[in-house]
Amino acid sequence: MPYDPRRDGPHKIEVALLVPLKIRHGRWVADGTETDQAEPGPVNVNCTCGDKASCEAALRAADELELPSGRALADLLAAAAAEEEQAWS
């Protein structure tokens, strides 16, 4: 049965992305809009759900998801920054 967050509960799944940067005019800038997955891929080392089978199913499902492009990553970072700013105000 595939992972369903409504049924299986939340999992703390994370993935590291590589964002190519280059130096232009003495500062770092993004080198295009593509991202790449860093090794080892999706992980859930901080998940506290306590259900190993459900975590493994969630990890397999996460590994099938398409990674965000650079543009989508920028949107995700902006949304996270706004949420964080709101939490501190």
**pTM of this prediction?**
0.65
Taking the mean position of all CA atoms in its chain, how far away is CA 10?
Answer: 14
Q: What does the pLDDT look like over 6-15, one tens digit per residue? A: 665 678 888 8
Dist. CA 19–CA 72, nearest whole Å:
12
CA dihedral 28, 32, 36, 42 (to 10 degrees): 70
In this structure, are residues 63 and 41 in contact, taking their beta carbons and an 8 Å threshold? yes
Determine the average pLDDT of the residues in 23-30.
94
Q: What does the pLDDT look like over 36-77, one tens digit per residue? A: 888 788 888 777 777 888 888 888 888 888 888 888 989 999
Determine the average pLDDT of the residues in 26-30.
92
Helical residues (DSSP H) of 1-89, grouped into ranges = 5-8, 52-64, 70-88
| Domain spans in the chain, listed from the N-terminal domain onward | 5-88
